[in-house]
Amino acid sequence: MNPLVLSDADYKAVFERITQLALEYVASVGDQPSFPKITGSETEALFAKPLPEQGMGNCSLDDLDRVIEFVRVTSPRFLGYVLGSGEPIGAAADLLASVLNQNVTAWRSSPSAVTIERVVVGWLAEAIGCTGFSGSLTGGGSSANLMGLALAREARVPANECGARPGTVYASEQIHMSIPKAIALLGIGRENLRLIPCDDNFRIRVDLLRTSVERDVRAGLTPIAIVGSAGTVSTGSIDPLPELAEVARESGAWFHVDGAYGALAAIAEPAKFAGLNQTDSLSLDPHKWLYQPLDCGCLLYRDAAAARRAFSHTGDYAKSLVDDPVEGFAFFEETIELSRRFRALKIWLSLRYHGLGNFREAIRNDLTHAQLLAGLIAKQPELELLAPVALSAVCFRYRSRNDADRECDALNQEILQRVVRRGKVFLSNATIHGSFALRACIVNHRTTPEDIEQVVSEVLAVGRELSAG
Amino acid sequence: MNPLVLSDADYKAVFERITQLALEYVASVGDQPSFPKITGSETEALFAKPLPEQGMGNCSLDDLDRVIEFVRVTSPRFLGYVLGSGEPIGAAADLLASVLNQNVTAWRSSPSAVTIERVVVGWLAEAIGCTGFSGSLTGGGSSANLMGLALAREARVPANECGARPGTVYASEQIHMSIPKAIALLGIGRENLRLIPCDDNFRIRVDLLRTSVERDVRAGLTPIAIVGSAGTVSTGSIDPLPELAEVARESGAWFHVDGAYGALAAIAEPAKFAGLNQTDSLSLDPHKWLYQPLDCGCLLYRDAAAARRAFSHTGDYAKSLVDDPVEGFAFFEETIELSRRFRALKIWLSLRYHGLGNFREAIRNDLTHAQLLAGLIAKQPELELLAPVALSAVCFRYRSRNDADRECDALNQEILQRVVRRGKVFLSNATIHGSFALRACIVNHRTTPEDIEQVVSEVLAVGRELSAG
């Protein structure tokens, strides 16, 4: 027998034990501290061990308990960054995806997986009002934004053959870091990204955008893309998408929207997202606001030919030999990836198990919870809301005695660290008008109103403790 | 209760049913046809259905049988492309990775997952003779090659701020398509990729490389990178790495090696891969020759500071607030990704369960099987080996009556399609000196000598049938 091949009984023992661990974890998620008690050097001492030459067999499973003990749990009170809460039906489907080990490159490499991914992408487009868009699932929003901007570059200042040529990209000051990172990678150069100021609601100032575009065009520069946010990462603000579409049309620029955080909320609140269907490309992250396990991002686009112009350079050994349009389809002609995991299976199963209606309601709950939190903050004189709540991100701070900015920043930085260490709620931070903000971002299908109340009580408890000291 | 939250009993029912399906699939892998009997329009009829508004509950699981029925099975006789065979212990670990839903961005977001990924990357480096290299796991070889070349570009002709500047990249004509794709994406321009001819063993001609570099330098161009192959995708050839390292040193170019297919074979045959540890960066794919489920690529580099120069542009909301070197570590400062799946868990468990020794033996078996196949082909006058077998890719063809190239190409193209449809073995194709080749690539921990014999008997059976007709 081959050295890595086990008996069916051996596989059964391992699969059943891991399934048991997984179920115990799911059952316990509500009771776990939101951050484990461990230091950097302790994690190293636990895990930085030599690779064994001899197999440990089932003993190797014993250490999974320590792995689980020292993760950051996506409890109902995990409200940091923008991270979906990991819907367990999707996670169960991921086991099957890994066992089937489909390489979702082309229909001929995986008939059912390629078909299901194309179907799921169509469902996502339809669910947010972009019926007819096609696209693919990606490793996340960074990759989707990179691909969207690659489409833009190749459409406006083709660079694949001859190298990057000058051009400019426009986005608001609140744009996610993946956009400048993509612009750097694409050879456009971050100094050609115009960061346009925002209004009081952290939405791009379209008048200033127009001025900036006009100035560049007069200077002989080519506007490559206008990038809107459908949910800025700090405050969840949604740029005025129809107006951005208009500026893009006028200037001949590509219109990309970064909807990694917010666009899937269009399932619950389509009116907030008017204009999404006027984009040329659009990123969204089912591993955020569709609660799917990592990784699962998505890029949608209006015109698949633009994606093929950007990405189709197939080697002989991967070239398709058939003419049928379904059987000849290859994702690698439209993406930066070649090998691709069967990411669609989890969305497919999770959406069909629960139905879109339940996802809509879960997203509505998150939006309601954010308003609840904002309301509780407004009622507490020791707390201060730092930005309007456009979606589900709530930025606030504990007031220091004299509201001096530096003192207040230091106090809230200390509050954040202590709150996280206490392990009841997990918050992260943002910078709002130059000030340090505590930030709760609610894209968590497990969160309840009681969990939201704990955010306030935890911050108040720590803030009072520090202010008294 | 929240709309997407189920009872522990409901989760148990779903997890146990899917685990059962997964185990049945693993047990049946050896008996399945290597390609399912289905057409493009049949897959669409089966799966292109509307997204249900109401959840289907457990009924949604019924259709998983059809998904499984119409995958391309990684049977012991799957020898297409370069795709690992999906080691089931790794797949089981993937269930836990999805349930834990760690975002492997930074230590503070996932203490155990970030630590384990750093440990696993160190193990991989050590296993192939690159002790001391660091890096990260990626979605695959394309992404690892893109990142390696981004490091090169930023080290030699910095472009992140000001945009891409002229420079040249060198690789052999046999280089994988992900390299020109990366060069296009990075704004270097594919016309600045010099494709250097190969010797009879499909290894880059170092003398011609040197001439090309010197010509470009005289013309005022900057050599950005020399890219070697440690396992070309068609024939598994390994470029003379120490000599490439020397040319890179002389010319000031970055030295990247695409080891996506082959580098992990250094675990079994280190002598073939002398010079790997002289690279600046190096891609390898545990989802290929470490048999791990998709997705799991890896980029290794000598100098983490170069990765940070290329990729560190962190937004405020993600900035680390701590000084401890372990607790302050963030993968997104060294990669193009922000959100990242816990890819390391499967390698960690699979390597510890089986031990490195068993992987070494499995890789040796693949190498032996390739030589066995080459030997069987040599013994058959109707078959012709088209390239030396450097690793585990075997390129050959069925001889046509008069060996006229066009006739022979058409015949073998037809043979390939029929062999795949018969479902006993799965082969893919390559172009060798302009001719269409059948190609078996053996990176499959389940393959036995009997499976290899079937490759020959299937091709002979179909070839004779077609030649007789």
**Interface probe with A: pick from B61, B311, B338, most Cβ of A within 10 Å:** B338
Q: Which of A393, A429, A424 is nearest to A410 (CA)?
A: A429
- Structural tokens at position B311: 């990729």
Inter-chain residue contact B187 with A192, CB threshold 8 Å: no
Is B101 in contact with A95 (Cβ distance < 8 A)? Answer: no
Is A336 in contact with B41 (Cβ distance < 8 A)?
no
Cα gap A411→A460, rounded to integer Å: 12
Task: Give the span between the Cα atoms of B437 and A417, in whole angstroms.
Answer: 61
Q: What is the distance between the terminal CA atoms of chain B, rounded to a whole angstrom?
A: 68
Report the 10 Å Cβ neighbour count for B137: 30
pLDDT tens profile B375-433: 999 999 999 999 999 999 999 999 987 767 789 999 999 999 999 999 999 999 999 99
Cβ(A369)–Cβ(A410) below 8 Å:
no
Instruction: Give the per-residue pLDDT at A403.
Output: 65
The arithmetic mean of pLDDT across residues B189-205, rounded, is: 98
Distance in angstroms (rounded) separating the CA atoms of residues B344 and A250: 47
pLDDT band at A34 (very low <50, low <70, confident <90, very high): confident
Distance CA A357, CA B54 (A): 6
pLDDT of residue B318: 56
Give B398's contacts (C-beta < 8 A, 6+ positions apart): B382, B383, B384, B408, B411, B412, B415, B438, B459, B460, B462, B463, B467
Q: For the CA atoms of chain B, what is the radius of gyration?
A: 24
Token pair of B322, please? Answer: 């701590």
pLDDT value of residue A401 = 79
Find out whether B236 and B393 touch, Cβ atoms under 8 Å: yes
User: Residue A284: what are its φ and ψ, rounded to 5°?
Assistant: -150, 160
Interface contact flag, B164 A177, Cβ < 8 Å: no
Asked whether residue B320 carries a pLDDT value surpassing 70, the answer given is: no
pLDDT digits (tens, 9 = 90+) for A153-173: 999 999 999 999 999 999 999
Q: pLDDT by residue (tens digit) across B40-75?
A: 999 999 999 999 999 999 999 999 999 999 999 999
* pLDDT value of residue B403: 65
- Quick count: other Cβ atoms within 10 Å of Cβ B149? 27
Rounded CA-CA distance B259/B261 in Å is: 5
Q: What is the DSSP string of B296-352?
A: -EEEEES-HHHHHHHH----GGG------TTTT-BGGGTSS-SS---THHHHHHHHH
B347 near A210, Cβ under 8 Å? no
Q: Do B161 and A140 touch (CB under 8 A)?
A: no
> Smallest CA–CA separation between A469 and chain B, in Å?
22
For residue A129, is pLDDT > 90? yes
Does the structure show a pLDDT above 80 at B211?
yes
Reduced to 3 states (helix: H, G, I; strand: E, B; else coil), residue A445 is coil
Domain ranges of chain B: 92-354, 356-468
Tally of CA atoms within 13 A in the half-sphere of A165 that contains its CB: 16
Rounded to the nearest integer, the mean pLDDT of chain B is 96
Report pLDDT digits (tens) over A346-366: 999 999 999 999 999 999 999
| pLDDT level of residue B226 (50, 70, 90 thresholds) | very high
Contact indicator for A96, B136 with CB cutoff of 8 Å: no
Is residue A286's pLDDT more than 70?
Answer: yes
Residue B34 half-sphere exposure, CB side, CA atoms within 13 Å? Answer: 25
Token duo for residue B389: 């077998």
- pTM score of the predicted model: 0.97
Separation in Å, CA of A239 to nearest CA in chain B? 19
A81: alpha, beta or left? (left if phi > 0; alpha if psi -120 to 50): left
Contact A54 B357 (CB under 8 A): yes
A402: pLDDT strictly greater than 80: no
**Cβ of residue A404 closer than 8 Å to a chain B Cβ:** no
Nearest chain B residue to A27 by CA distance is: B8
**What's the pLDDT score for residue A319?**
58
B5 touches chain A (CB under 8 A): yes
**Strand duo B193-196 + B168-172: pairing:** parallel
Name the DSSP class of B52: P
Q: What is the Cα–Cα distance from A26 to A36, expressed in whole angstroms?
A: 16
Contact A392, A236 (CB under 8 A): yes
Using CA coordinates, name the residue in chain A closest to B354: A55
CA angle A447, A451, A456 (to 5 degrees): 135
Query: Which of B49, B339, B359 to mutate to test binding with chain A, by most A CBs within 10 Å of its CB?
Result: B339
- Judged by a CB distance cut-off of 8 A, whether residue A412 touches chain B is no
Query: Is A204 in contact with A233 (CB distance < 8 Å)?
Result: no
pLDDT at residue A197 in the model: 98
Contacts of B151 in chain A (CB under 8 A): none
Angle, helix B344-354 to helix B111-127, in steps of 10 degrees: 60
HSE on the CB side for A3, CA within 13 Å?
A: 20
H or E segment and range at residue B194: strand B193-196
**What's B356-468's CATH class?**
alpha beta
Cβ atoms of B260 and B178 within 8 Å: the answer is yes
- Whether residue B18 lies within 8 A of chain A, CB to CB, comes out as yes
**Closest residue of chain B to A163, computed from CA coordinates:** B189
Q: Are strands B435-441 and B428-432 parallel, antiparallel or unpaired?
A: antiparallel
pLDDT for B412 equals 97
Q: Which amino acid is at B69?
A: E
ipTM for the assembly: 0.97
Can you say whether the dihedral through the CA atoms of B13, B16, B20, B22 is positive or negative?
positive
Asked if A431 lies within 8 A of B25 by C-beta distance, the reply is: no
Pick B316's closest partner by Cβ from A39, A108, A431: A431
Chain B residues in contact with A349 (beta carbon < 8 A): 60-61, 64
Neighbours of B161 (CB within 10 A): 11
Q: What is the mean pLDDT of chain A?
A: 96
Helix or strand (DSSP H, E) at B176: none
Q: How many Å apart are CA A154 and CA A164, to the nearest integer?
A: 9
B6 touches chain A (CB under 8 A): yes
pLDDT of amino acid B313: 76
CATH architecture of B92-354: 3-Layer(aba) Sandwich (3.40)
CA end-to-end span of chain A: 68
Whether the per-residue pLDDT at B263 is higher than 90: the answer is: yes
What pLDDT, on the 0 to 100 scale, is given for residue B321? 62
**Rounded to a whole number, what is the distance in Å from the CA of B12 to chain A's nearest CA?**
7
pLDDT, tens only, B435-457? 999 999 999 999 999 999 999 99
- H-run or E-run covering A231: none
Q: What per-residue confidence (pLDDT) applies to B468?
A: 84
Q: Residue B130: pLDDT above 60?
A: yes
Distance CA B236, CA B262 (A): 7
Spatial separation of the C-alpha atoms in residues A384 and A409, rounded to whole Å: 13
Phi, psi angles (nearest 5°) of residue B457: -70, -35
Interchain contact A83–B (C-beta under 8 A): yes
Specify the residue for token string 């005025």.
Answer: A240
What pLDDT score was predicted for residue A236? 98
Give the per-residue pLDDT at B400. Answer: 87
Beta-carbon contacts of residue A404 (< 8 Å; ≥ 6 apart): none
Per-residue pLDDT of A292-329, as tens digits, reads 999 999 999 999 999 999 999 765 555 566 778 899 99
Residue of B202, B180, B171, B208 whose CA lies nearest to B433? B202
Using a 10 angstrom Cβ sphere, with 0-12 exposed, 13-18 middle and 19 or more buried, the burial of residue B59 is: exposed
Q: How confident is the model at residue A175 (pLDDT cuts 50, 70, 90)?
A: very high
Residue A70's pLDDT band, with cuts at 50, 70 and 90, is very high
Question: Are the C-beta atoms of A68 and B116 separated by less than 8 Å?
Answer: no
